[in-house]
Structure 1
Amino acid sequence: MFKKILIANRGEIACRVIKTASRLGIATVAVYSDADRDALHVKIADEAVHIGPAPSSQSYIVIDRIIEAIRQTGADAVHPGYGFLSENAKFAEALEKEGVAFIGPPVGAIEAMGDKITSKKLAAEARVNTVPGHMDLIADADEAVKISSSIGYPVMIKASAGGGGKGMRIAWNDAEAREGFQSSKNEAKSSFGDDRIFIEKFVTQPRHIEIQVLGDKHGNTIYLGERECSIQRRNQKVVEEAPSPFLDEATRKAMGEQAVALSKAVGYHSAGTVEFIVDGERNFYFLEMNTRLQVEHPVTELITGIDLVEEMIRVAAGEKLQIAQDDVTLDGWAIESRLYAEDPYRNFLPSIGRLTRYRPPEEGTQDNGTVIRNDTGVFEGGEISMYYDPMIAKLCAWGQTREDAVRAMSGALDDFEVEGIGHNLPFLSAVMEHPRFKAGRLTTAFIAEEWPEGFAGVTPDDGEARTLAAVAAFVNLRTQKRNVLISGTLANHPRHVGRDWVVKLNGSGEFAVNVRDEGGKTQVAFVDDDSSLAVASDWLPGRSHAHFTVGGRRIGVKVQPANSGWRLRWRGIDAKAHVRSPRVAELTRLMPEKLPPDTSKMLLCPMPGVVTAIAVAAGDEVQEGQALATVEAMKMENVLRAERRGVVKSVAVEPGSSLAVDELIMEFE
């Protein structure tokens, strides 16, 4: 067994590898850039080596810097995590020359499967089902349009060396094929240093289902079931689960056997994933093979009980697999939600800044038998940088059934506190509560179909609105009683707390309520229909999160003071609540509404990033949908388009400019 492992990565995956290596008694070495000097993976490793400036192109993906760190620390093995150098054959070769073990597959398998064009051809030779497409290299945008037209729209334009949704575009017509080709090339070159592009048919109503494979150096290869990864945004996975709610046992077996056949065809060992696109009739087609550990590997670990990182380490050390295919059993259901530093209310644009509050839910087995796991690489007070992937954490929930797992995930998301940056917690909660998700009716177009105009939050129904109104009334009563107690100690004439209040939830109306403490609970009576809800909680003024039992239902709500009211967040609902006396509520209705400033003639930067292109100049007439500028943030290109016809009055920035959120890019006449 190895004595010291260097993790050639950062963030949550570096922390994940360190956790297993430490359990096995193996010393660990972290590497870090300028931006990661105080990162969590640096703090928990036994040793840490600085490898360069913040941009990954000058640090994490510079092979010579990693090799120097290995020499400096005497590490005898390297785990690459995912991304960065994990599927770089030259890196694996460099380690081999250095006499250091690569905790991953052989070089030949990386080369064969890392090139998407070559992998398609090898898959076909191994009798694995493949998607129709053009597997040769494409010279320019004109050729891309011609090929796309011959295949038939829609098509998928993909980077040959791609992964993680980068360098990937869907085109529905010639114009989108031309633009998508150039954007894919740019992203591919930026992310992978390889701008080769290929095109294949886009399968409509697709489900993204992948098979986890595991092999050793002695010819043993098995599959560990499947993962459903259909909830995607911009080809980036957001929610994954294992097993898939769609597959039957026969399809699972057929996909698993084809995945093993492909693995054996390229002499694969270590953990890897064979990804498939599956249509509504359960026909499946090979998409790609990821010759590394996947981001979503925890859900497989939760249903199989197998530590994939440990298996990778043991395989790299020359050990045989201790399990055969017949030993693999799938127990229960697991779901993973990817918590990203991105604002779902602004079309999921990246967000950077300091985590002023970071409180994950409690991990481990819960009272109801479900299990919560949170893989993370950040901490409260840490900073989310613009230089790397925006992932904050991977929250996982396990239950005996899918319904149990979904319910556990919803509760865990409610209990997860993140402040200081934009994040997608409310969106993840909305997915868990969506009837279509609960029914397992998924496709990779789920997000686009269910939120075609973008995510604007969850509007509570009447029952949810009354639940939040009851919470607001409870919070107000506790606050008022605390104020009375304080005033009573400072004056000889303490005031009393009234029972009649009006709760206004922005966007959900008003509720006249009568509130009183009775029998250890707070009774909130609704005047309009004579209904009432009993509320109990351990909440105290100053707490940002608490559990409330409302009408017998236990829920987790984030509570935050906000402009003479309360901001309440629960199950994707973000509600502003004001609790006023009847007279004040009456007068408030007479107040004019404050309107936001008019920015209709401005193009503002929607996220922090770097301007990579300006497509127009002052005086140009632009049409609706026309590209105006391109901003790169967290390794993704974002094309900003005109919302309507107009004439450019002035351009305030130029390519290379670094912009903050809402900074002016151009004005229109």
Structure 2
Amino acid sequence: MLPRAMFFRASPVAARSHVRVFYRSVASTTDYGKTFDKILIANRGEIACRVIRTAKKMGIKTVAIYSDADVNSLHVKLADEAVHVGPPPTGQSYLSIPNIISAIKQTGAQAVHPGYGFLSENGHFVHALDEAGVTFIGPNEKSMFAMGDKIQSKIIAKEAGVSTIPGFNGEVRDADHAVEIANQIGYPVMVKASAGGGGKGMRIAWNDKECREAYRLSQSEARSSFGDDRLLVEKFIEDPRHIEIQLIGDKHGNVYYLPERECSIQRRNQKVIEEAPSVHLDAATRKAMGEQAVALAKRVGYYSAGTCEFLVDPKRNFYFLEMNTRLQVEHPITEYITGLDLVEQMIRVAAGQQLPFKQDDVHIKGWAFESRVYAEDPEKYLPSIGRLNKYIEPKGTGSEVRCDSGIVEGSEISIYYDPLICKLCTYGENRNQAIHTMEKALDNYVIKGVTHNIPLLRDVISHPRFKSGKISTKFLAEEYPTGFKGHALTAESEAELLSVAALVHAKRSIRESTWKAGGGSFIESGVSAAPSSWELYIGTSKDTLKKVQIRQKKDGTFEASIDGKEPVTVNADWTLDSALINTSIGGRDFTMQFLEPISLGYKLQHYGTKFDVLVLSKQQYELSKHMKERPKLDLTSVVLAPMPGAVVSVAVKEGEDVAEGSELAIVEAMKMQNVLRAPRAGKIKKIHVASGQSVAADEIMIEFFPAGK
């Protein structure tokens, strides 16, 4: 049992392990007064570390809270004090208002920053803090209740003259009512939770059947994530862009809008890549959206940081979507292009200070991107858990790369919380420069121990359509209609992969030969029994093997020729077995990652995607022609758990006949529910799980009788 309270000061090593921050200050951090002596951060992970960083800059002591699962987390180490608030389930720890109020009383914290998620938009929490005489670093209870409810906020927005999406301005009673509304509005419709956000409790429906299922799943997710299962139904705007306006207001009636962020690259309504500003908006549209957002905020007496989200069609018509009464996940890119520290402004506003700038002082300088690096399988879009046994964040030459993370090497990604690893942000004087910096940063990001989504991020950021700026919320569905399968090798990227694989093999062969020649120790440079040239057969499968000849020149560089083509020089800054291979081939500079040796080759990462590269000698190649392929495992008779999680429900019984695509079970992980469907028509032979049971990834859940029986 962990102690109820634990207090300690973070070590200098732990504090230095985090990120550098970049602000071109619009307002000085020391020119307008003291705020608080001590604040508690009612959150965990990355955002807790982010708030602690600014608080330290302002000379404010910090208190972290933690569950059993987070006892060794970075945010706990960075804070001046830390208090245990319960077991891993969020309802018993990070969502437990009594436990957090107790932590405040124990530590004497004067104010609370909620971060995002958890209690950040919970008016009851604000009320409890008010009663305890503690300042909430966010909006007041009244405006939070008004704007935190999507149904109520749409009504208020209409009254404030804000353009809104057609829909039903009230609470949906049941699935039949949802279908009735959908038919009145016209399909497609969006069924979504009235409370909360983050893509949870949201489903698109194109017909009555999908509407009923969307209602059921959205209600269940909403109840699990927010403790509020009320839903609304509104028209789904086709081919839209998701663009949001950042607001900041003070308690003296001043509210200003900051430049927009575009969040159109989404999967399952969850943002993947954001940028600021948007290529789609012109000055007039930006001003109109900003002024409507300000009008809405003033209507409800809003202060602190907040965001109005809009859908914008190809003709720049915009529709209010919702208001987030908190700091947004993607706030760093707004900080990049404005020079403002939004967390600092929130703290100062909470302390009663006026904003130190006016609307005319806000300008756009440069361009910024944020890539959300998650522990997840980018092909299945399912979360991954595990320990980060190798973790190196990318660094820029200046302030153009920012990593907001809450983990270090050795940290564990657990089943209990959001699988976000890092918010990787890059900055440039223009969009192309910021994109190029992001490409390099993703290539240099080393993560081992969990599956991650860098392959998808890297592919999107370099996609010609993305670079052109012609994007919408349908981008991923349109560009990867059968799902993301990893980087598709081009002639150029394949040549790079094969050449580097040959170089890796040559360098490792040289090391092995010099070790043997030295009698078990490395002999002096220049005295080697290693060959200076190699004939290899390299490919990502037996069917793609190509003849690669590589030789080491007298100057130490290498020269490679693929299938008899003209040799090219391959220069690589690579220490054997280190993660990064900084390479130049034919004037093209790129970074590849060496992951590990495999049987007859190496696992390499190129363009973010992992490749098992076969590297065969001439003899091995000739022998491989006579080897039979191993038969593939037939998975059509079993249904496996797609990820670690909890079984929400099982929809079938043993002996039951099911049609292809029928719902079999629902598995929940990280508050997202995934419906498992029958891979084929057949009869259920055995059910191995029950509702409420935990399952591991690839665990057999349901068995079918063999086809034809």
Q: Same fold (TM over 0.5)?
A: yes
Structure 1 residue 355: deviation in Å?
1.0
- Residue of structure 1 equivalent to 2:610: 574
Deviation per residue, 1:31-74 (Å, 9 max, x gap): 00111111110010000000001000001111111111000000
- Residue of structure 2 equivalent to 1:358: 391
For residues 178 and 251 of structure 1, do their structure 2 counterparts lie closer, same or farther at Cα, with a shift above 3 Å needed? same
SS in 2 for 1:365: coil
SS in 1 for 2:685: strand
Aligned positions of 1:587-666 closer than 5 A: 587-666=623-702
- Residue of structure 2 equivalent to 1:424: 453
Structure 1 residue 626: deviation in Å?
1.2
* Structure 2 CA distance for aligned equivalents of residues 47 and 596 of structure 1: 54
For residues 494 and 129 of structure 1, do their structure 2 counterparts lie closer, same or farther at Cα, with a shift above 3 Å needed? closer
Of 488-497 and 236-245, deviating more is 488-497
- Residue of structure 1 equivalent to 2:277: 243
* Structure 1 CA distance for aligned equivalents of residues 292 and 554 of structure 2: 63
* Structure 2 CA distance for aligned equivalents of residues 521 and 406 of structure 1: 34
* Structure 2 CA distance for aligned equivalents of residues 303 and 65 of structure 1: 38
- Residue of structure 2 equivalent to 1:484: 513
**Residues 537 and 618 of structure 2 are in contact (CA less than 8 Å); yes or no, is this contact kept in structure 1?**
no
Deviation per residue, 1:517-541 (Å, 9 max, x gap): 2263533332535322212222122
Residue in structure 2 matching 1:321, options 355, 359, 365: 355
Q: Note if 1:462 corresponds to 2:523.
A: no
Amino acid at match of 1:547: N
Which runs of 5 or more structure 1 residues have no equivalent in the other structure?
A: none
Aligned positions of 1:513-532 closer than 5 A: 513-518=548-553, 520-532=555-567
- Residue of structure 1 equivalent to 2:407: 378
SS in 2 for 1:455: coil
- Residue of structure 2 equivalent to 1:400: 429
* Structure 2 CA distance for aligned equivalents of residues 332 and 351 of structure 1: 35
* Structure 2 CA distance for aligned equivalents of residues 521 and 146 of structure 1: 74
* Structure 1 CA distance for aligned equivalents of residues 612 and 301 of structure 2: 58
SS in 1 for 2:353: coil
SS in 2 for 1:500: strand
Residue in structure 2 matching 1:195, options 202, 206, 229: 229
* Structure 2 CA distance for aligned equivalents of residues 442 and 213 of structure 1: 24
**Residues 473 and 524 of structure 1 are in contact (CA less than 8 Å); yes or no, is this contact kept in structure 2?**
no
Amino acid at match of 2:80: D
**Residues 502 and 510 of structure 1 are in contact (CA less than 8 Å); yes or no, is this contact kept in structure 2?**
no
Residue in structure 2 matching 1:411, options 430, 440, 445: 440
* Structure 2 CA distance for aligned equivalents of residues 647 and 399 of structure 1: 58
Deviation per residue, 1:448-497 (Å, 9 max, x gap): 11112111111210111111111111111110111110011128997442
Of 549-558 and 653-662, deviating more is 549-558
**Residues 469 and 503 of structure 1 are in contact (CA less than 8 Å); yes or no, is this contact kept in structure 2?**
no
Q: Note if 1:565 corresponds to 2:601.
A: yes
SS in 2 for 1:490: coil
Amino acid at match of 1:269: Y
* Structure 2 CA distance for aligned equivalents of residues 383 and 405 of structure 1: 31
- The number of residues matched between the two structures is 664
- Residue of structure 1 equivalent to 2:24: none
Deviation per residue, 1:231-255 (Å, 9 max, x gap): 1111111110000111111111111
Deviation per residue, 1:383-407 (Å, 9 max, x gap): 1111111111100010111111111
Aligned positions of 1:19-38 closer than 5 A: 19-38=53-72
Amino acid at match of 1:654: A
* Structure 2 CA distance for aligned equivalents of residues 587 and 415 of structure 1: 37
* Structure 2 CA distance for aligned equivalents of residues 339 and 263 of structure 1: 32
**Residues 506 and 534 of structure 2 are in contact (CA less than 8 Å); yes or no, is this contact kept in structure 1?**
no
Which runs of 5 or more structure 2 residues have no equivalent in the other structure?
A: 1-34
* Structure 1 CA distance for aligned equivalents of residues 685 and 98 of structure 2: 49
* Structure 2 CA distance for aligned equivalents of residues 381 and 65 of structure 1: 28
* Structure 2 CA distance for aligned equivalents of residues 667 and 248 of structure 1: 56
- Residue of structure 1 equivalent to 2:127: 93
Deviation per residue, 1:258-280 (Å, 9 max, x gap): 11111111111111100000111
Structure 1 residue 503: deviation in Å?
3.7
Aligned positions of 1:108-507 closer than 5 A: 108-345=142-379, 347-362=380-395, 365=398, 371-490=400-519, 495-497=529-531, 499-507=533-541
Structure 1 residue 322: deviation in Å?
0.8
Aligned positions of 1:3-42 closer than 5 A: 3-42=37-76
* Structure 2 CA distance for aligned equivalents of residues 197 and 614 of structure 1: 24
SS in 2 for 1:281: coil
Amino acid at match of 1:556: T
SS in 2 for 1:166: coil
**Residues 186 and 235 of structure 2 are in contact (CA less than 8 Å); yes or no, is this contact kept in structure 1?**
yes
* Structure 1 CA distance for aligned equivalents of residues 449 and 181 of structure 2: 46
**Residues 246 and 307 of structure 2 are in contact (CA less than 8 Å); yes or no, is this contact kept in structure 1?**
yes
Deviation per residue, 1:579-618 (Å, 9 max, x gap): 2222322222332222332211100001000001000011
- Residue of structure 2 equivalent to 1:82: 116
**Residues 311 and 319 of structure 2 are in contact (CA less than 8 Å); yes or no, is this contact kept in structure 1?**
yes
Amino acid at match of 2:451: G
* Structure 2 CA distance for aligned equivalents of residues 449 and 463 of structure 1: 25
Amino acid at match of 1:221: V
* Structure 1 CA distance for aligned equivalents of residues 555 and 311 of structure 2: 55
Of 142-151 and 33-42, deviating more is 142-151
* Structure 1 CA distance for aligned equivalents of residues 60 and 373 of structure 2: 29
Amino acid at match of 1:353: G
Structure 1 residue 139: deviation in Å?
1.3
* Structure 2 CA distance for aligned equivalents of residues 135 and 183 of structure 1: 21
**Residues 521 and 536 of structure 1 are in contact (CA less than 8 Å); yes or no, is this contact kept in structure 2?**
no
Amino acid at match of 2:398: T
**Residues 246 and 308 of structure 2 are in contact (CA less than 8 Å); yes or no, is this contact kept in structure 1?**
yes
Of 97-106 and 530-539, deviating more is 530-539
Of 563-572 and 103-112, deviating more is 563-572
* Structure 2 CA distance for aligned equivalents of residues 525 and 161 of structure 1: 59
Structure 1 residue 357: deviation in Å?
1.2
- Residue of structure 1 equivalent to 2:12: none
**Residues 171 and 180 of structure 1 are in contact (CA less than 8 Å); yes or no, is this contact kept in structure 2?**
yes
**Residues 460 and 573 of structure 1 are in contact (CA less than 8 Å); yes or no, is this contact kept in structure 2?**
no
Amino acid at match of 2:290: G
Structure 1 residue 646: deviation in Å?
1.3
Residue in structure 2 matching 1:103, options 121, 132, 137: 137
Of 271-280 and 138-147, deviating more is 138-147
Deviation per residue, 1:296-355 (Å, 9 max, x gap): 00000011110000000011111111111111111111000001111112x111111111
SS in 2 for 1:410: helix
**Residues 410 and 433 of structure 1 are in contact (CA less than 8 Å); yes or no, is this contact kept in structure 2?**
yes
Residue in structure 2 matching 1:535, options 567, 570, 574: 570
* Structure 2 CA distance for aligned equivalents of residues 167 and 622 of structure 1: 27
* Structure 1 CA distance for aligned equivalents of residues 518 and 529 of structure 2: 11
Residue in structure 1 matching 2:581, options 530, 540, 546: 546
Structure 1 residue 498: deviation in Å?
5.3
**Residues 160 and 295 of structure 2 are in contact (CA less than 8 Å); yes or no, is this contact kept in structure 1?**
yes
Amino acid at match of 2:598: A
RMSD over aligned CA atoms reads 1.5
**Residues 433 and 571 of structure 1 are in contact (CA less than 8 Å); yes or no, is this contact kept in structure 2?**
no
* Structure 2 CA distance for aligned equivalents of residues 27 and 653 of structure 1: 48
